[in-house]
Amino acid sequence: MITLMLKTTLLAALLFVAVTARGAFTLTSPAVSEGGTLAETTVLNALDCRGPNRSPALQWSDAPPNTQSFVVLLDDYEARMGDGFIHWAAYNIPASANGLAENAGASDVSLPPGSRHAYSDFLQRNYGGPCPPAGPPHKYRFTVYALDIPTIDDAGTPMTWRKLRVVIHGHVLAQASLTTLYGRKES
- Per-residue model confidence as pLDDT tens digits over 20-30: 445 899 999 99
Quick check: 145 and 70 in contact, CB under 8 A?
Answer: yes
Quick check: 168 and 52 in contact, CB under 8 A?
Answer: no
- Give this prediction's pTM: 0.86
Domains, the chain, ordered by start? 24-182 (3.90.280.10)
pLDDT > 90? residue 14: no
Question: Cα–Cα distance between 110 and 113 in angstroms, integer?
Answer: 9
pLDDT-derived band at 82 (thresholds 50, 70, 90) equals low
Question: Cα–Cα distance between 81 and 73 in angstroms, integer?
Answer: 17
- Mean pLDDT over 104-124 rounds to 95
pLDDT > 50? residue 5: no
| Mean pLDDT of all residues belonging to the chain | 88
pLDDT-derived band at 9 (thresholds 50, 70, 90) equals very low
Give the Cβ contact number of residue 138 at 10 Å.
Answer: 21
| b/e burial code for range 104-132 (CB count within 10 A of at least 16 → b) | bbeeeebbbeebbbbbbbbeebbbbbbbb
Burial (CB count <10 Å: 0-12, 13-18, 19+), residue 94? middle
Cα Rg for the chain, rounded, in angstroms?
A: 19
Quick check: 42 and 182 in contact, CB under 8 A?
Answer: yes
